[in-house]
Chains A and B, each alone.
Chain A
Amino acid sequence: MSDRVSAPASAVAQSWIGQPVKRVEDARLLAGRGSFIDDHAPCPNVHHAAIVRSPHAHAKILGYDVETALGMPGVVGVVTGEDVARLAKPFSVGVTAPVHYYCTATDRARFVGEPVAVVVARSRYLAEDAAEAVTVRYEPLPAVVDVERALEPDAPVLHEAVGSNLAGHRRLVYGDPDRAFAEADVVIRERFRYPKYASTPIETYGVVARWDPVDGTYTVWANFMGPFIMHPLMARVLGVPENKLRVIVPPDIGGSFGIKSSMYPYMALMALATRLTGVPVKWIEDRREHLLASSSGTDRVAYRELAAKQDGTVLGMRYRWLDNVGGYIRSPEPGCSFRPVGNFVGPYRFQHLEVDASVVLTNKSLTGPNRGYACGHLYFETEGMMDRLAERLGLDPVEVRRRNLIRRDQFPYRTPTGGLYDSGDYPAALDKALEVARYAELRREQVDARAAGRCFGVGVALAVDPSVSNMGYVAIALDPQFRAKPEYLPKSGAVDAATIRVDPLGRVIAVLGTTPQGQGHQTVVAQIVADELGLRPEDVTVVDEMDTFTRFWSISSGTYSSRFGSVGTSAVALAARKLRAKLVEYAAHLMDRPAAELEFRDGAVRPRIGAGPSYSVKDLAGRAHWNTESLPDGMEPGLAASAVFGFPEARAVDDNDCVNSSNTYGFIAEVMAVEVDPDTGLITILRYASVHDAGTIINPLIALGQIYGGALHGLGGALYEELRYDEDGQLLTGSLMDYLVPTASEAPVIDVAHVVSPSPLTPLGSKGLGESSSMTVPAVIANAVSDALAPLGVRIAELPMTPTRLWEMIERARGAGAP
């Protein structure tokens, strides 16, 4: 364990940490005074881009006619796929298959909405008028949208160089799954389907790009959330050194939930457009474009097998996944299959696992991180299997889980896939969820409800909630032989940085390199710094405007993967502690006493024992700034400290395909009661208990907001949202009329409680909580609905559970002669 790790929050004397401090961000956001990408022109003479998109799911591009468009009012230039192919390189992809992914289509369009050209004009109106006049000559090709159909030998192949639609495949074996299945008393099998859905943030993508012909620097303003591994990727595509590409993120981003990590191809595209037209170019994605072609999670077909003993002990599992990444594979995919590798086994003790993961190309839009990144898929399947096991053995679903949970005395727990669960008490959290939900009472109510002919069900779902991905996990998509080559460079890491400065009047400015999208970093950082330096949160100003030229950043930087509550807060705490140590050392010099006799308490440096003079932060700050002669020999002038926090357990994938894919691991236990109207297929949520263990909770109000948001997001995927395509690859749900997003009206009441197992790996004991219930709601509501419909013999294995789909299942079951 690292020597940087010290006592958890409870040892800190003052405590703003843990208080429901109101978000300082809200005043400006609620008053319409936020500063978003579309709010200001960061440079003069900004022109506007409209993107010409493919109307075909699959088509050869034969040529472009741009003359008419170029002659239209206000138009300064048109960039086509020919320009892109000539001037840019394709993006690096996370697989070895030769998928050539450029920021527009070049030879072929491979999904409806794929960019094929960009028109730049004086206004967006004029640009859209001219975009209609751009003629692209296509030769339509047959399309394929279904993952299983795409792998059939006669399916249309999207990328001739790849030769099939299989972009990547890995078979991962942990332990001895064959023996586990041979020794099993019970084997359960099921096929699951998980839908393609996104997150529809209120603010869409936005980019402003400028090129300086004198020094050759691109400046790109964008509401990009990271990860900043995409910065060197973009620089390579543009053919410039990294210090000629400046990325600046505005102070406010209107939500992202993972989706804005996938906007970087548009940043490169607008950089090319500004280079070619000679004017700064702005592009604000509209809602139609966002639904058609931004990003989403994958739709997946999963074949699951579970081997267990008669007493309910799970011996092993087999997962066979087909993940649909759309027309190309865009980094960080195939994280869709591998991001949860360290927590593939979830909260259970079984040791034998086989994972067969196929990453499949089809004529759908591209995929990427979406809140819960692949964990919603994982737990929908695993928790569905646990219920099927319980049913087979005649056990209560709670009991079958309890018999398999990792025990409290097993932490820190090394999973068979390489994950290191840092802390937890899973049985206690499960008990808490049962208590909050009044589980026994629900089961009694169910007996009465069923007797009255009502479809009343109770579902349970458990999940390990991983935060702060170790970016090294992406290499698991590559074969071990490939990773063993001498020219292959291993990858690992999860770092964040903070700088804290004290001004001459003793007030503090904390500077971060994060890209918050509504998470409340300013509020939380002020709480932490106030605790460490004995100040009030309002004494701390927090600046989190990412700028790759002025902020610290590294490959894993960015606000994604529930990072900030764990790694970002750690960097802040460490920087504040460094600064505090410097203040103590300086005061010791002024007092002419050994620093060991002093301590920092109640906002001042004082003797540990007995009376004596004390120096407040304000006093020390004034002296240090105004009179540098007063500093001890060898002390750097100025009162500032920076810290870079990195997790030592973020290691590269090993030869056995094991990797600690995240760094802190929380836990979620949920219970939901529902009633289903069998005549309409409508689901009503009657009770929903959600218990989380995210270690130390820094701000319970923000934690509650994340849990509600995550739950609504999961509810979207479970009940409402789906990017549906017809078999020709046309999007059927291309507006918010058809793509239904849950709103406050659909929000259930959530009974939230916390169990606190502080992380031993972070200075404050905190873990991430940003994705939270998005990964459990699909599982818990599917299990509750299955339980409600068990008397009819209906079991949910496919989402979303729209009323139509559910009603059809009920009708089929009734027709089949179920009671």
Chain B
Amino acid sequence: MKPPVFDYHAPASVDEALELLGRYAGEAKVLAGGQSLMPLLNFRLSRPAALIDLNRISALAYIREDDARVRLGAMTRQRTIEFSPIVRERLPLLAEATALVGHLPIRTRGTIGGSLAHADPSAEYPAVLAALDGEVAVRGPRGERVLRAAELFGFAFHDAPA
């Protein structure tokens, strides 16, 4: 249960992360909280050429309320969501579902972006996104687009590419 060799990058901005993703032309994986990706690496079920670690991009971790919407940054920890007054008031389903994600150490590391991107059909967040008719802003080298759950999740463990 040791991962194979990979390059490692820890960009400080989204632009830098996108540049790195482009450089590896689909051979890199994005590391968020690592609660699914790290076991996949350790089992050698995933063999990326590089890991792009988003944990240093502080701009991606936030919970904001504006335009009658709640916006959550991709790198917002599940533990933060679980105890967010905004989430509890505006999205009580999300707060309730978050408390059911894994266990405490998992929620402390796990992120909402990572969980949605992993698209595990038995996970809480994809179901909550669909139930609340939420939207996901996806950025890639070619720009940004906004997707609903039905558009985001192609099939199990696969989401739409940006």
Contacts and interface: CB of A to CB of B under 8 A. Distances in A.
A125 interface: yes
Contacts of A128: 2, 4, 44
Given A125-B2, A128-B2, A288-B1, 7 more contacts: A128-B4, A129-B5, A132-B4, A132-B44, A287-B1, A288-B43, A735-B39
Contact of A286 (B1, B3, B4, B5): B1
Contacts of A735: 39
A795 interface: no
B1 to A, nearest CB: 4
B1 A129 contact: no
Interface in B1-29: 1-5
Q: Nearest 3 pairs between A and B by C-beta? A: A286-B1, A125-B2, A128-B2
Q: Which of B2, B3, B4, B39 has the most CB of A within 10 A?
A: B2
A735 B1 CA distance: 12
Contacts of B4: 128-129, 132
A124 interface: yes
A720 to B, nearest CB: 15
A128 B39 CA distance: 15
15 contacts: A124-B2, A125-B2, A125-B3, A128-B2, A128-B4, A128-B44, A129-B4, A129-B5, A132-B4, A132-B44, A286-B1, A287-B1, A288-B1, A288-B43, A735-B39
Contacts of B5: 129
Contacts, number: 15
**Is chain B's binding surface mostly helix, strand, loop or mixed?**
loop
A129 B3 CA distance: 9
**Is chain A's binding surface mostly helix, strand, loop or mixed?**
helix
A95 B4 CA distance: 43
Contacts of B43: 288
Nearest to B43: A288
Interface of B: 1-5, 39, 43-44
A288 B1 CA distance: 7
Contacts of B3: 125
B37 to A, nearest CB: 14
A286 B43 CA distance: 10
A687 B39 CA distance: 38
Nearest to A288: B1
Contacts of B1: 286-288
B23 to A, nearest CB: 24
Contacts of A287: 1
A613 B3 CA distance: 72
Contacts of A288: 1, 43
Contacts of A125: 2-3
A287 B39 CA distance: 11
Contacts of B44: 128, 132
A288 B41 CA distance: 13
Interface in A104-157: 124-125, 128-129, 132
Contacts of B39: 735
Contacts of A129: 4-5
Contacts of A132: 4, 44
A742 to B, nearest CB: 13
B131 to A, nearest CB: 21
A288 B44 CA distance: 12
B121 to A, nearest CB: 14
B56 to A, nearest CB: 24
A533 B9 CA distance: 64
Nearest to A50: B2
A49 to B, nearest CB: 12
Interface in A581-632: none
A124 B42 CA distance: 12
B137 to A, nearest CB: 30
A729 to B, nearest CB: 20
A286 B1 CA distance: 6
Nearest to A289: B1
Interface string A739-770: 00000000000000000000000000000000
A288 B42 CA distance: 10
A125 B5 CA distance: 9
A204 to B, nearest CB: 10
A124 B2 CA distance: 7
A120 to B, nearest CB: 15
A288 B39 CA distance: 11
A113 to B, nearest CB: 13
A113 B8 CA distance: 31
A286 to B, nearest CB: 4
A604 B39 CA distance: 61
